[in-house]
Every structure is written in C-alpha cells, then in structure tokens.
Structure 1
Amino acid sequence: MSEVSLNGRCLVAGSAQGALLYADVGLSFWGGVEPFTGEVIDRHHPLSGQLISGRVLAIPSGRGSCTGSSVLLELMLNGHAPAALVFERVEDILTLGVLVAEQMFGHSIPVLSLGEAGFAALRGVAFVRVEADRVTGFNSPPPALERRPENRPAINAVSKISLSETDQGLLDGAYGKAAQVAMGIILRMAELQGATELLDITQAHIDGCIYTGPASLRFARQLVEWGAKVRVPTTLNSISVDKRRWRELGIDTALGEPASQLGDAYMDMGARVSFTCAPYLLDSAPELGEQIVWAESNAVVYANSVIGARTLKYPDYLDICIALTGRAPKIGCHLTQQRLATLRIDVPELDGLDDSFYPLLGYHVGLLCGAAIPVICGLEHKGPTLDDLKSFGAAFATTSAAPMFHMAGVTPEATTAELALGGHAPDKTLRIGAADLLHSWRELNSAQTSDVDVITLGNPHFSLSECATLAHLCGVQRKHNAVAIVVTCGRATLDRAQQAGYVATLERFGVQFVTDTCWCMLGEPVIPPTARTLMTNSGKYAHYAPGLVGRRVHFASLVECVESACTGLASGRLPEWLRGAAHAEDSAHV
C-alpha cells in the first residue's frame, strides 16, 4: 500500500522507481558526487558515503558548482545515475544535465519538483515511484513498473517563447546543426524557468571545459563535428590540467590527454585561450548592467554582486549553447526585480578582521541562504577589498544556490540595505553571532594534527594584488623543505606578476605556480602522495578538499599560511576576531 501520493511539476518526463535517498540539504554534484561511482563525497553533507546510483534522489536543490550538470551527464552515460531526481523547487543545473543527455545522447531520467510541503512529506518514506508529475511513496518495494515508451520533444518543437526571426532560423537549422541543437536546449530550459522571451548577451564564460570524464569530451566533440562556432566573445574557465606543463608536472596521460583535448575542442569553437576561474580579472571583464552569460559559480556570484553585470548561475553545457546562439532566457538575475534581496543578514561588530574573515563569512552566509538573495549588513565601514569580496563570493557560492549577494554600503546595487531590498521589508532577518562563525571555523578546519604538508593557494585563481601581498609576506625567507606551497592563477595574471618581480621573489621562497587549472581539479602528484594535511586560505577549497582529494584541511589567513610554510606546523591560533567567542564558550563550560 502507498503511504503518500503527491503531485508536482514535471521538469523532465519519465517514470522510474527505487529506494528513496532523502536529504533536506542541497547537494553540489561537482565536488559532492564521484562521477564514476555515484558516491556522495561531500564530507560535510548528511548523505556523505551514500550511493545515489539507481535510487530516487530527493534534495531541495543543487548548490555550489555549475559543473554539477556535467557530473550528472557522466553518471547518466556510465550507468551510475539516480533512477529519478525529486526537488523541492525548480533546479536548473542538474535538470540541464538530464536535458543534454536526453537531447544529444538519448538517455533520460524523470525529474520533478514538489514544492515545500510536498517535498517535506517524503521524509521517512522508504521507496518511491515517479511517473511524470506524480510521486507515490511506499513502505516496502512496490510492484515492478510497467515500462512505456517516452515521448521526447523534437528539437524544433513548437515553443511558448517569443522568437525573433534569427531565433527561428537557429531553431530550424539555418545556422547549422550545432546551433540548432543549442537553441532547442535553450528553449526547453527557458520554458522550465518561466521565461517568455530571449535576450541578447555580449559575452560568455564557459565552465563546461572542465573534464569530468568521457562524456564531457564526447559532448564537446559532437558540437565541433556539427560545426559549432561561438557568436559572442567567449572565455574559458580553468580546465583540469595545466595545458602547457601537465607532463612536466607528472599528470597521468589518462587525465592529461583528454583534459587537454577538451580545451582544444572549445577553442575549435572559437573560444579565447583564457583558462581561468576568475574571468573578472581579465581585461574583458564586463561592466555594470551588462547582460552576459557566465558559468563557474564563483564567477557568476562575483559578476552579479561585485561588478553588477547580469547573469544567471548558468549550468555547464547551457553556457556553450548560449555562446553558440548569442541568446539567453530573459529571466532571473537578468531582470532588475529578480536581483533584489529577500533576506537580511546582520553581522556582528568584530575587531581585528583579517583576510580569513570574508571566506568564512561567505561560507556561513551561504549555508543560511539556500536560494534566497541576501543583503549583508554591518560591514559598511570595514572596507573589504576586491580580493576579500572574491573570497567571500566563492565560499558563498559553494554552500548556497543563490546567484548573488548584496553587501550594504559595499556592492554597487546596495548603497543601502533598503535599496538592495527594493524598498520592501525582508522576508526574514537573521543575525549572525561570533559563536556561529566559530562553529563554521571548526567545520572548515578538519585537520586532526598540527602537521602541514601542502599550502594550497589560489581557489579562485590568485589575483595580481594577492601575488604582491604574498611576495611581501615571504620576503627573504625560505619555506620548510618538507612543505610544498603551490599557487594557481591565470596565465594573464602570471605574466603580470612576472613583470612586476613577484614571481622571482616567490620562487626563491619555494612557491610553485600552476596555471590553466585550479585546486578543485588538482590532485596527485601536484599534491604529493605522501601528503596527509593541507592548509588553505580558501573557504571554497577547505570545504571541497576532504571529498575531492581525501585530505584533512587547516583553514587560516594568508599570514598563517606563510608561517606554516616556514615551520611545517599550523599554529592553531584563532584569529583575533574569533577569540572572544572562544573565551565566552570556555567560560560557559567552567
């Protein structure tokens, strides 16, 4: 007998059933799910260690990386995907992965959203059957599901979106097969998002160039074979290897060759050789109000929040589809009204802030937000730098599903909190205490010993100003022989740092530079096989590293990272701005 029967919104049609795997916390498939086994590897997530393969996965939404769509495509083509996906709300990144698998490779799974009450009703259910827009829960395995042929929409199916003459030509194949398929995928996503028309965009940044496995290369090569060429200036995110030096770095050819070939495929489509996860550091960075299409979660958040450009949190593969057509759904953060904050977060007055404050705060705020856009209040007179905002945004993008934040008195659309809220009262106001930040500090500091084997800097990619700061801190010192210190950055930044003399200073200290790729893609041997504990000043990497590379992490300021590079040990000191919370906690335990 069924225990629960629910109606939802069908995002991708189909029928399936299986044991239910339920969590009330969003999950990033990139860095959170192993693409070749289906294991949940996000060690901070309640499903850590579980296998999603063949089960009905119910999560409120995705979160974190835009590359989740690519990981899901890998899982679907290698047989380790969930039987179905059930969300609380419409979810773009993972749904797009299913649409690409269906449209280009003939593989699909059902996807639907249930709303808050319906999703909550699945808690405690053991088995689930999904049929189109209906979910039925059971307390024991249900009878076998009768398989019926699914009706897949044709590429040029009648769309509810208002199309220009050029749009229709793209959809009809007048501009080639690649552009035709791309427009078909764009329109299906636009309809799911509730868009009624498309808009022109001025530039794109492609995250799908990250190698997640054979499917990612297969996708890009298929587009090249179909004659794909971008219609707007297009930059490329970090790829999975240092394209010029992967052999020198000792990277296995099983990764190095296809990862490099994937970069080549996107350049064959006309993308610029940029290979950076921080495109806002390039000379092509957009301006306030510019309509763009960027993928890569930290870049999206920075573009929307710090620059005031306009983009959605575009999933991998939708990014290149839009670059091939120059057209994007007119929805979400492309529209002024949908950029407004609905959540106010008040930050405590803390003294002695250092650069570890902003990534930690971003990590904590992201956990509180879900998909809501926040306005953070209380930092109006703290003067965060662009590097501070970069690190805040990257950590925020790791733990939230929101495409942007506002910071009152700091970011361009939030000269006041009232302006960021559009003159309306927030749906909710939250106050963060120092004790809350102390809890998140301990969450990011997973290391169990004081040893430090590798200092990992540059997630997101280091800026020129960060290179200058690091060179000043290193000075005439030399690192400890047993500690590796590696900085990842873009090629353009490395060239400027060399011209400024920073690279020579840092290489004398013992810093190794790696370009084109980033820490979320790096593993052994750049991380020595004997290394057990890492140290980073990146909230994003402190979160992902335990699952991605199986190492414990010390999270600390850049000053502490340099000190540990010299001693081989983490001091374990709390930053000044957290010590009061720790003292209060100790006193309460006496």
Structure 2
Amino acid sequence: MAIQQLDEPSTFKGTSYVGGEASGVLMTSDLELSFWGGVSSQTGHVIDKHHPLSGQELKGRVLAIPGGRGSCTGSTVILELLLKDIAPAALVFERRDEILTLGVIVSEELFGIAIPVMTLDPSDFRQLLKLNGRSVHISNGQISTYHPGNGTSKIIHEVDSSEPKCSTPDLNLTELDYAFLENAHGDAARAAMRIVLRLARVMGATELMDVTQVHVDGCGYTGKGALAFAENLRDRGGKVRVPTTLNSISVDKNLQRVQGANEEFTDGATRLADAYTDMGARPTFTCAPYQLDTAPGLGEQIAWAESNAVVYANSVLGARTMKYPDFLDICIGLTGRAPKAGPHVEINRRATVIVEAPRVSIENIDDSFYPLLGYHVGSIAVSQIPAVTGVEHLAPTQDDLKAFGAAFATVSGAPMFHIVGVTPEASTLEAATGGALTMRSVETKITDLIKCWNELNTAAKGQPVDLVSLGNPHFSLSEIQQLAQLCKGRTKDPDVHVMVTCGRTTYASACRSKLTDELEEFGVQFITDTCWCMITEPTIPHTTNATITNSGKYAHYGPGLTGKSFYFGDLARCVDAACGSNYVESRPRWLE
C-alpha cells in the first residue's frame, strides 16, 4: 500500500523477492515484456518492435512493468545483462514474475551479483506508472522518489562470500529435500535445491513434489552466462535424477551444418549442449517435445520449460507443468523435485476469462486462422487462463493447436488455455471454468484478427521475399507431408530460400518416408537441432528483402531478432512466395 500521498516524495511499500538497494530513473510500461526476443542480451536495448519501449536502453533504469510474458528464456537474458553490467538497476512488477526473478536468483546464487526485485499491489503500481522518468530509490521492498541532485547512481547489490539466505520456514520439506540441502547427493544437487526452494517461495508453494520428466529450455546459447551456469553444475558433479529432454540448441549438430555464427559462438553453443548431455539429458534438441514418443499423458506431473511446449503440454495433452524458467528446469532435473504450485494444482488450471471466437466455417478459413486467433486470445488473456468457445465445429488438428498455442504463448504469460469441446479438460464450458457462474467474457470478431494480421505483416507493400521460414515451433511429420503435397509439380524461384527446422527424430522419419528427397529436389533445406529463434546470418540473408513465415510466434519475434521485415500467411501462401508469387501482402479472402 502507498504509505504517502503522491506529493514530494512519494513512497510505496511492496513485497521483496530479491533484496538489496538501487537507485535510478524510473522506466515504466503498462504492457508486459518478454526479455527473450524482446531485449538484446548484447546491448540491453528493447528490441521487440511491437512494444512501447522498443529502442529504449534498460541499463541503470528501474524498470516497472506488470510482469513478463512470452519465452521461458527471459531468465537467461537477465543473467547475461547482469554479468555484462547492462541490466536494469531494479525490477518492479505488478504481479510476481517467476521467469525474470529466477534469472536474478541464479545470478546471486552462483555469481554473487543481483538487483532488487519487488512487486507492488495493483493500485500502487498504477500510481507508480505516472512517475515515469522520475528518479527513485529502492531498499528491500520500498520504493521512493527523490531529488538526484547532480545525477543518479545505480547500486547493484553484490552479496558477500557467504551464501544468500535460503529461508524455508513456510515449506514442508521431506527427508529427501533436507538431504539435498545437506549435500548428501552432491554439490550440484545442493545448489540446485537451493535455487528450487528460493523460487518456491516466490511462487507461494508450501511443499515440493516429484515429477516424472523434465524438458530443459536453457540449452540455447545466449551468452557466456548461460554456459558458465551449465558448466558450473556439470563440473560440480551434476547428474539428472529423472528423464530429461533438451530443447533446441544454437547449432545444427545432427546435420553438421554451420548456421553462419562466428567460431566463438559456435564453440560456446556446442559446449553448452555438451554440458547438458554430460549431466545425463537426452540430446533430443527440439522445441516440440510433445512430438517425441516420451510425451506425457493426461494428469502427469512434469517440469517443462519453453513457452510453447509448456502451453501445449498443459492445454492439449492435459499434463501438468508450470511455465518453468530456464535454469530452474535443470535444477528440477538434478533433484526430481518441483514446487507444488500453479498448474500442478487442480484449482489453478481453471479458466478465468471466456473468449468467444469469431463465427467462421471450416470451408472458408485457412491454417493462418489458428495462429491469428491464438495471438489475439493471448493479448486478451495476458495473465489469465482463457476458455475459448466457438471452435469445436472446426475440429482443429494437433498442428492447428500447436500453432494456436505458440502464438498465444508469445504474448501471454498464462501457462495454458482451454478450447471448449476440443482440449481434454474442457469438454464443456463448465468443466473449463470449474463451474464458475460469472466471469469476464470477450466476443472477438474478424476485424480483431485483421488487426493481428496487420501487426504481424510488417513488410512494405511490394517488398520482395528472399526467405521462406518454416518450423517455429519445429515442423511435425504431418506438416512436412503437407508441404510436400503443396510443392509437388511446382518450381521454386532460385532467388528465394526455403528452410524448414524440425527435430532430429522428425527428420529421420521424413527421411524414411522419402519426403526429404522430394522436398530437397524442390529446393527445401532442412535444419535440425536448432530453430528460427536462434538462427542468424548468413542463413538468414542480410538483404532489404522480406521473410515470410506461417508462424505467428516468429512473425512477432522475427523483426527484432533479424532486423528484417516479415510477411505472415498460411503454408500455401508461403509456398506461393517460394515460387515467386507477388501477392503475399494481400489478406486472404476469409479475412476480407
């Protein structure tokens, strides 16, 4: 609550999740921000072209945003910023944010560097937004305005040689949990348990629980910090205790194709992947672990990171996982223990907002409908679990749900969605909401999807295409089959590159089916192990021409990651562009 009125000075008291003191100029936004894909880990600037803070430098600023959104890799980005001394001076949220907080906790635990992280209640946060540009000081959960005199200073809290406090009075720990803390299972497992317990406090958990499997997202190379973290745990004897799969990495180890990164980057990315496999994780290297034969079943308690995978697991498979930050994923893998909170608990899986989809018929739409709808629903349900109605008659496929979920997770911080009559925990609207009688209901129209289409299509009218980007998230075997059918009998424009990213197991299946032979003859290049979120020049041509993709996720992140303009459209439109079509900037008929 505010403990003074908004005169000189103004002071607010909140909840501190990482302590310390800091001063700086307040930078505010009422829109959530994904640090991965939204903030450069090299410069500390906001690179999300769709965000109001785009182009702003975060270094030394007290950043106040409602919370994070999008990728689980935000924790690695904040770690890189801290180690480069280009991080914000402090983070202030309207609601707790596990992903960014975890990155600061890891920095403090392993590297002795941290910044204050705190939350304010909604009314105080809204008052704080009005103070944008003012100089403020934070001290252990209290934020105050002040007159800086000759300038402002940033104070990054550096811990001493003793370990940060790992308080557990509110947690009911088992003998196994205590054994980890007492180093009975090795130094790496002890460090991992400390990190798990500190985030359990942030999440409000009262106990830990066993999980059956883990999917690690932190194996993508974002810089030296991520590598130092993984090698630290590996060198301290870390070994996973539960089956653990790995997300996409930053190089194509399977096909041994260099993605154009410099030698230092390639070496770092390879060492990072090796550190995780050395700890016993499977080299699956896919952002779509739900395509593996180890995909979890309904009600199974798991610990997955990677935003699209989390949303798919919870929503489509009915498994149970939180949206785990990078770094916490491997910590859970090393202990097999996770905070019992969030979507692990039945009551936290219920929808709290109803979204009515536009009335369309299956004959009139194409496969761009699902990422557009997911993108729009995510912008409505930024922190809430939605129940989407009006889709059952369209009978969406698994690939449709993947595309919906990936776009949804790009702009929403929620860990799941329900589609009434489609997803397993939403046989009825009552089942999805837990029988709640009243809640916010939002009706969407085609005009809303037109707005999303315009937002994702950033290329100028008539701008030529030189790259067709497919597989974000990784292409499934059925999508490869569909692509082969669309390319059959057609000729690719020699000036247009067509590239598909997929998991190595999917690629092997496509090879056995001779699909890769057909598509490579057309001119498609397959890339495994990595994905578009990590691919750079020269794989992505450095030209003034545009990229076209059928991924709502990549159409959102791509402009900031690559500096290129983007077209978005369905798979057929992408193939048309590969063959030299020049109408890619026009909207499909179903949107007119």
For the 8 Å contact 2:166–2:197, the answer to whether it is kept is no
Structure-2 residue corresponding to 1:314 = 324
Q: Deviations over 1:426-446 (max 9, x none)?
A: 431111111111111100000
Q: In structure 1, what is the equivalent of residue 3 of structure 2? A: none
Matched, 1:491 2:541: no
Is 2:185 the counterpart of 1:165? Answer: no
Which shifted more, 116-125 or 299-308?
116-125
The yes-or-no answer on 1:102 pairing with 2:108 is yes
Query: What amino acid is aligned across from residue 105 of structure 1 in structure 2?
Result: F
Structure 1 residue 289: Cα displacement: 0.3
Determine the structure 2 residue equivalent to 1:275.
Answer: 285
Q: 1:544 and 2:544 equivalent?
A: no
Give 2:460's aligned residue.
Answer: 448
Determine whether 1:297 maps to 2:310: no
Secondary structure in 2 aligned to 1:441?
helix
Deviations 1:407-463 (A, max 9, x none): 000000001111100000343111111111111110000000331110000000000
1:401 deviates by 0.4
- Offset, 1:252: 2.0
String of CA shifts for 1:43-96, please: whole Å, max 9, x gaps.
000000000011100000000000000000000001100000000001100000
User: For 1:35-54, what aligned pairs fall within 5 Å after superposition?
Assistant: 35-54=41-60
Task: Note the 1:502-581 alignment, pairs <5 A.
Answer: 502-530=515-543, 532-567=545-580, 569-579=582-592
Q: TM-score, normalised by structure 1?
A: 0.95
Residue 81 of structure 2: aligned partner: 75
1:155, distance to aligned residue in structure 2 (A): 6.5
Deviations 1:490-542 (A, max 9, x none): 00000001111211111111000000000010111111223631000000000
Task: Give the whole-Å Cα distance in 1 for the aligned partners of 2:350 and 2:321.
Answer: 14
Aligned-residue sequence identity (percent) comes to 53
Contact 2:112 2:158 in 1 (8 A): no
Partner in structure 2 of residue 25 of structure 1: 31
Q: Is the 8 A contact 1:60 1:88 kept in 2?
A: yes
**Counterpart residue type for residue 506 of structure 2:** T
Identify the match of residue 136 of structure 2 among 128, 135, 145: 128
Q: Is the 8 A contact 1:60 1:89 kept in 2?
A: yes
Question: Do 1:14 and 1:132's aligned partners in 2 also have CA atoms closer than 8 Å?
Answer: yes
Residue deviations 1:271-330 (CA, integer Å, cap 9, x gap): 001000000000010000000000000000000000000000000000000000000000
Q: Distance in 1 between matches of 2:282 and 2:246?
A: 7
Structure 2, gaps ≥5 residues long: 1-6
Structure 2 distance, partners of 1:213, 1:250, is: 16
Give the direction of change, closer, same or farther, for the CA distance of 1:270–1:149 in structure 2 (3 Å limit): closer
Query: Could you tell me how far 1:115 is from its partner in structure 2?
Result: 1.8
**Is the 1:343–1:426 contact (alpha carbons within 8 Å) kept by the matching residues of 2?**
no
Write the distance in 2 (CA, Å) between the matches of 1:371 and 1:430: 15
Aligned residue number for residue 331 of structure 1 = 341
| Aligned residue pairs, count | 579
Report the Cα offset of residue 157 of structure 1.
4.7
Following the alignment from structure 2 to structure 1, what is the Cα–Cα distance between the partners of residues 564 and 154? 42
Shift of 1:156: 5.9
Q: Is the aligned partner of 1:347 residue 2:353?
A: no
Residue 576 (structure 1) shift: 2.7
State the SS of the aligned residue for 2:22. Answer: strand
Equivalent-residue separation in structure 2 for 1:305 and 1:356 (angstroms): 20
- My pick for the range that moved more, 480-489 or 442-451, is 442-451
Quick check: 1:209 aligned with 2:209? no
| Letter in structure 1 aligned against 2:177 | D
3-state SS of the aligned residue for 1:58?
strand
- Asked if 1 retains the 8 angstrom alpha-carbon contact of 2:386 and 2:417, the reply is yes
Separation in structure 2 between the aligned mates of residue 467 and residue 244 of structure 1, nearest angstrom: 18
The whole-number CA distance in structure 2 between the counterparts of 1:8 and 1:466 is 48
Whether 1:393 and 2:405 are equivalent positions in the alignment is yes
For 1:464 and 1:238, locate their aligned partners in 2 and report how far apart those are by CA, in whole Å: 17
CA offset at residue 248 of structure 1? 4.5
Q: Distance in 2 between matches of 1:132 and 1:569?
A: 57
2: CA distance between counterparts of 1:321 and 1:3? 42
Task: Judge conservation of contact 1:453–1:531 (CA < 8 Å) in 2.
Answer: no
Aligned to 2:247: 237
**What is the SS of the residue equivalent to 1:567?**
coil
Letter in structure 1 aligned against 2:43 = T
Backbone CA RMSD of aligned residues: 1.7
Cα distance, 1:143–1:467 mapped onto 2, change above 3 Å: closer
With 293-302 and 138-147 compared, the bigger mean Cα shift is at 138-147
- Partner amino acid, structure 1, of 2:516: V
Match of 1:381 in 2: 393
Q: Whole-Å Cα distance in 2 between the matches of residues 149 and 553 of structure 1? A: 42
Structure 1 residues 248 and 19: CA distance shift in structure 2, 3 A: closer
**Paired letter, 1:514:** I
CA distance in 2 between counterparts of 1:199 and 1:417 reads 30
Could you tell me how far 1:140 is from its partner in structure 2?
Answer: 5.7
Distance 1:33 1:413 in 2: 35
- Which residue in 2 is equivalent to 1:481? 494
Between stretches 192-201 and 149-158, larger displacement belongs to 149-158
Among candidates 176, 192, 198, match of residue 182 of structure 1: 192
Instruction: Decide whether the 8 Å contact of 2:89 with 2:155 is kept in 1.
Output: no
Residues 249 and 131 from structure 1, CA distance in 2 versus in 1: closer, same or farther, beyond 3 angstroms? closer
Q: Say which is worse superposed, 248-257 or 270-279, in terms of deviation.
A: 248-257
Superposition pairs of residues 195-206 of structure 1, within 5 angstroms: 195-206=205-216
Where do 1:425-436 residues align within 5 Å?
Answer: 425-436=437-448
Distance 1:146 1:248, change over 3 A: closer
> Equivalents in 2 of 1:212, 1:148: separation in Å?
23
What is residue 371 of structure 1 aligned with on the other side?
Answer: 383
Query: 8 Å contact 2:246–2:283 — kept in the other structure?
Result: yes
SS in structure 1 of the partner of residue 59 of structure 2: coil
Residues 68, 93 of structure 1: 8 Å contact kept: yes
After TM superposition, the score normalised by the length of structure 2 is: 0.95
Closer, same or farther: CA 98–158 of 1 in aligned 2, 3 Å = same
Q: CA deviation at 1:191?
A: 1.1
Change (3 A) 1:28 1:383: same
Q: Distance in 1 between matches of 2:34 and 2:232?
A: 26
> Aligned-pair distance for 1:135?
1.0
| Runs of at least 5 residues in structure 1 that lack an aligned partner in the other structure | 580-590
1:148–1:553 Cα change, 3 Å? closer
Q: Does 1:416 align with 2:440?
A: no
Q: Which residue of 1 aligns with 2:18?
A: 12
1:158 deviates by 4.4
Query: 1:348 Cα shift?
Result: 1.6
Contact residue 447 and residue 552 of structure 1 kept, 8 A: yes
Task: Measure the CA separation in 2 of the matches of 1:144 and 1:524.
Answer: 38
Is the contact between residue 88 and residue 116 of structure 1 (CA under 8 Å) also seen in structure 2? yes
Greater alpha carbon shift after TM alignment, 498-507 vs 525-534: 525-534
Equivalents in 2 of 1:502, 1:97: separation in Å? Answer: 41
Q: Which amino acid is the alignment partner of residue 342 of structure 2?
A: G
Q: Tell me, in whole angstroms, the C-alpha distance in 2 between the residues paired with 1:307 and 1:144.
A: 49
1:155 touches 1:171 (CA, 8 Å); kept in 2?
A: no
**1:435–1:173 CA distance, 2 compared to 1 (3 A):** same
Contact kept? 1:230, 1:270, Cα under 8 Å:
yes
Distance 1:364 1:102 in 2: 37
